Structure 1
């Protein structure tokens, strides 16, 4: 079978979707299929770093089956950075390759992602299968997608796959349709033997409990929660925390205790071989994500390595972890509860070892041999869907008025959230008082906005702008912005000289400068200077020291 796998995400900025696509391609090839992967590719140059907020691309070899679709841009989405193609070149290459490839089936990963996945859904030359990876509970972006025609677009898919119940919920809630849940796969033969990674512990105390965190420095991954929990844990028991995917500077920004930092190793980005070694060497994998996780591939990889998991009780993770059996689920955003569970596991090594054995057994249900076979079954069903004899019916399927999978129509429906309900703390009277306080703060905010508008003289500003030459307005605005960038740059250089041991970022100083100037211009007294100092102190993680 000739198969085209389409990914909208940059191949050089490795993420969960592309790791899934790469493993799927290699297993499908191993099963005798001819596979091509169509995905963007960012070369390692200065323009790439500029388009991705300064983040350098991974130095990854280009596999023979990959067809590059041009550059991408880093966009903030779902609490993370999505590296998506937004250039016409990518869509043009995609269409040309699909038409020339004579494929039996086209498999689009994350169809809602613009623009490649969206465009590939409408390919008329072969059945198109879509895999939905994301858990997206937010109303506004999904409704915008529907206003752009998402439901009709996804009706053109001959089959829909969801990687978890959380991803299926997203599809049913916003787009409707029929979904088959097929999880992300894991390679059970990838973990090295335990004796092969014994050197990772080096000269550390054998009684130390080795914890592992895998993830980028993104808010939804919950690293600050883990650092707060580890800070308390390290005071009571010997423990070591290894962090993969996050640079040391980002760890220092969130943790001020130098004694605790001595027990933390931040490795940054590592290759797959080193990641598997760390998974095997760890006693526990910690996954304290706050939300937005659809599946959690690192959990199944920890299971394959025989490592139990302590994870947040959120949608996506509950599909993988059985609480108390192969891991422990805790409320998200609760560092005290996380520290308590880790403390219990330190004092109960037999329980921890038993969960590790059961985790390895749980990994069997995610083995790639099973997952690839299930996906091939979806391909076979998609290619066997009969073509309507009626010309009108064929036209309706082609434009998405009628679902192309031939199954009964399932409309989008309002469903209860798969996330567990939040734990209410405090008394009912206290919660009411907090709501009243928030409402009062909102009223004060509106009043300050009106005060600022009156102080600026918004009416006279608008009147002057209408009467002025628009070209001069643009020139004046450009000069003002340029002066603020220069001001932020000089402040950055001064701070870098005064704080040589701190990891400073220019964008923090730029945003703080603009906020400070706005406050000084609109509010009474000179609040801009202390405001920007407080912002920078908070951003570099040393509020009290600086």
Structure 2
């Protein structure tokens, strides 16, 4: 199907901006993260594109159409355009079904670009291995450098599968190997991911660049401190030690959460990889009978991913563990509402079995909430153990129950970690990530010129 692209972005002074094509086959950056195949990669692609546009670049993001109601072309904001390409049926396909639609998707991308003058794009940046397969073809056709971000890798995931989870297929591993071999530059979220690329995929270290994702610090921020309010409110708050508690109570009331309970928050897709079942089992540990005699309230913000019954299975597990009254499952929410949930929680838990970065952990810390995370992958970079949160060395429910209870019983410890979380979050910003990515693009162009 032909996609008729609108005229070029306005360019009143006649200058030639950097033109970037991004490809995100299996999930649109406009989709709500937290359900289906939508997650941190959606946020990554959109926020990076926005930051690049603020630097004068023009970004066009190609993604697969999942509804007939979607406009073929959407200007997300000045400098960022999303192009929905029809490839296969709109509904009923998850990312495991998409390899069979890559030919159709690639044809749609090439047709769209064919109506532009030759040499339109300067660089092609693909996300996840499915997009890399399309980008490999398009970059050769357009004679532009190919930059690829893996986001997750099959060999890394297969090395740390959750119990009962299915391994990634050999076809994906072969596809990833092909993209690694063809890319002019590979972008890793952390030094650990860069090492994984070199070890597991024999990537040339000279072509691997570490660019840490960012956090929208304007959206994700702590509850206002008493010293940051206007003078009248500040003076009243400083005279009233209970003011912060009332502020938290009002926030929880707005979110329909109990004011008098400890709250642990899980935000993400409900699937074995992300480990919400670890938290439910942790609530069933006998250690909670000590103290006030009940576990905290576990709030799960997320939808089913992989299996349509994933949420019902998690709720059934809570019933089996005898903690159904202590687990509250809600659908995913927009970014600004998510920030309020982070502010309202005592702790944010990220028990993933594999994580290339851990954007939820970074956003929670930016909101001033300590994070308890599994000591895997990029989480070891995002969460500073003992400074902004605590890293748990395994996925045993007993280990998680012990760490969570120790933190929830110690208000001073949590307060120190909260302060460290706020400081730690300043390491991550999308503007900084965009500046570094522009350098990667330039290196990729130089490498492409020599091939």
Q: What TM-score bracket applies, with the shorter chain setting the length?
A: 0.7 to 0.9
Provide the residue aligned with 1:523 in structure 2: none
- Residues 74 and 84, structure 1, Cα contact 8 Å, conserved in 2: no
- Residues 124 and 144, structure 2, Cα contact 8 Å, conserved in 1: yes
Spell out the pairing of 1:119-134 with structure 2 (5 A cutoff): 119-134=137-152
Instruction: Return the offset for 1:179.
Output: 0.6
Instruction: Return the offset for 1:71.
Output: 4.3
Instruction: Return the offset for 1:187.
Output: 0.9
Cα 1:22–1:69, aligned 2, differ >3 Å: closer, same or farther?
A: same
2: CA distance between counterparts of 1:71 and 1:112?
13
Provide the residue aligned with 1:168 in structure 2: 194
Match of 1:212 among 261, 265, 277: 265
2: CA distance between counterparts of 1:338 and 1:147?
36
Instruction: Return the offset for 1:170.
Output: 3.6
Instruction: Return the offset for 1:37.
Output: 0.8
TM-score, structure 1 normalization: 0.61
Provide the residue aligned with 2:237 in structure 1: none
TM-score, structure 2 normalization: 0.73
1: CA distance between counterparts of 2:46 and 2:404?
34
Moved more, 321-330 or 228-237: 228-237
Instruction: Return the offset for 1:218.
Output: 0.9
For residue 402 of structure 2, give the secondary structure of its aligned residue in structure 1: helix
**2:128 aligned with 1:110:** yes
- Residues 65 and 87, structure 2, Cα contact 8 Å, conserved in 1: yes
Instruction: Return the offset for 1:142.
Output: 8.2
1: CA distance between counterparts of 2:130 and 2:65?
20
Larger relative contact order (Cα-Cα within 8 Å, sequence gap ≥ 6)? 2
1: CA distance between counterparts of 2:136 and 2:448?
24
Match of 2:298 among 241, 249, 272: 241
Instruction: Return the offset for 1:361.
Output: 1.2
Match of 1:349 among 411, 416, 426: 411
2: CA distance between counterparts of 1:205 and 1:111?
43
- Residues 193 and 377, structure 2, Cα contact 8 Å, conserved in 1: no
Spell out the pairing of 1:87-486 with structure 2 (5 A cutoff): 88-99=103-114, 100=116, 102-111=120-129, 115-137=133-155, 138=158, 144=171, 151=177, 153-172=179-198, 173-177=200-204, 178-191=207-220, 194=223, 198-202=249-253, 206-232=259-285, 235=289, 236-237=293-294, 239-246=296-303, 249-256=312-319, 260-289=323-352, 291-385=353-447, 387-388=449-450, 397=451
Provide the residue aligned with 1:15 in structure 2: 39
> How big is each residue's C-alpha offset from its partner over 1:292-349, in whole Å with a ceiling of 9 and x where there is no partner?
3211111111111111111111222112112211111113321111111111111211
2: CA distance between counterparts of 1:272 and 1:84?
30
2: CA distance between counterparts of 1:237 and 1:297?
30
- Residues 9 and 18, structure 1, Cα contact 8 Å, conserved in 2: no
Cα 1:353–1:39, aligned 2, differ >3 Å: closer, same or farther?
A: same
Structure 1: state its 5+ residue gaps. Answer: 46-56, 389-396, 398-546
CA-based RMSD of the aligned residues comes to 3.1
Instruction: Return the offset for 1:156.
Output: 3.5
